[in-house]
């Protein structure tokens, strides 16, 4: 089984690096459930020469779940070498999804180790160091990622691709209602999209707590210093080469990226 998981991971990683895609994993390598998908995903960490940057959450809205035909959120790993500088550039290349997502991201100040009892939202928030505005540029290694199912999407690192972390928000964020907080996504300073924190499982803090407890159930610690990006609060914005993307999180800060 370990050899098959490694073969599945190798195949997906090769397509990721080459900017190519497949229809499905071969039947003999295909995970049958999310647990097997996460076991395949875990192997991607061996590819990175740097510590894991953090985690992403996919499918944090009813619309997002319906789009990829899943019934719950999915977790993926953020690799350090795929993290971009705020204000920098991202090569679109062979990206299939071609969207930008604006997200609330949390950097952890303490480690949350696996345990039998679920963590409460307050326990999780007490261990957060900083909040950040962020942009994710997702992608898939499947031609039709909408139909391959949760297990294969998880094995494919939950559509992780590039990630951009903005500067830390002022500490007053803890007193704000993040569910009601408005976010603007601006393309080329002319096209404006609005979203709210409640679009992310009802509240980005709820999404963060979900991630902590999902990792705990898998026997994985969320480490101090790691970042969790909680899913898009704005409907994913179509992008193309030459676009300039800016996320305006109001008093929480801004974040921007050029598509080349």
Which domains does the chain possess?
Answer: 2-259 (3.90.850.10)
Report pLDDT digits (tens) over 231-260. Answer: 999 999 999 999 999 999 999 999 999 999
What's the confidence (pLDDT) of residue 1? 65
The neighbouring-strand residues paired with 75 are 57
Sheet of strand 244-248: strand arrangement: 89-90, 254-259, 244-248, 182-187, 191-196
Residue 159 · residue 139 · CB < 8 Å:
yes
Report pLDDT digits (tens) over 50-61. Answer: 999 999 999 998
What's the confidence (pLDDT) of residue 96? 94
Low-confidence ranges of the chain (pLDDT < 50): none
């Amino acid at each position: 089984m370990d050899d098959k998981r490694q073969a599945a991971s190798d195949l997906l990683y090769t397509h990721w690096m080459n900017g190519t895609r497949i229809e499905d994993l071969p039947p003999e390598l295909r995970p049958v459930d999310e647990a097997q998908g996460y076991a395949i995903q875990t192997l991607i960490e061996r590819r990175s020469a740097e510590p894991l940057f953090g985690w992403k959450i996919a499918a944090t809205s009813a619309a997002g779940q319906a789009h990829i035909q899943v019934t719950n959120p999915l977790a993926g790993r953020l690799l350090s070498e795929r993290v971009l500088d705020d204000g920098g550039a991202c090569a679109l290349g062979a990206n299939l999804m071609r969207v930008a997502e604006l997200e609330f991201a949390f950097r952890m100040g303490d480690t949350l180790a696996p345990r039998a009892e679920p963590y409460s939202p307050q326990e999780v928030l007490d261990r957060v160091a900083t909040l950040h505005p962020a942009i994710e540029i997702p992608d898939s290694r499947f031609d039709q990622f909408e139909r391959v199912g949760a297990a294969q999407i998880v094995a494919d690192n939950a559509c992780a691709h590039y990630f951009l972390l903005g500067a830390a928000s002022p500490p007053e964020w803890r007193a704000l209602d993040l569910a009601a907080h408005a976010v603007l996504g601006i393309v080329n300073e002319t096209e404006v999209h609005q979203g709210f924190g409640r679009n992310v499982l009802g509240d980005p803090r709820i999404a963060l707590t979900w991630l902590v407890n999902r990792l705990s159930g898998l026997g994985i610690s969320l480490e101090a210093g790691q970042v969790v990006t909680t899913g898009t609060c704005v409907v994913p914005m179509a992008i193309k080469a030459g676009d300039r993307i800016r996320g305006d999180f109001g008093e929480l800060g801004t974040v921007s990226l050029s598509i080349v």
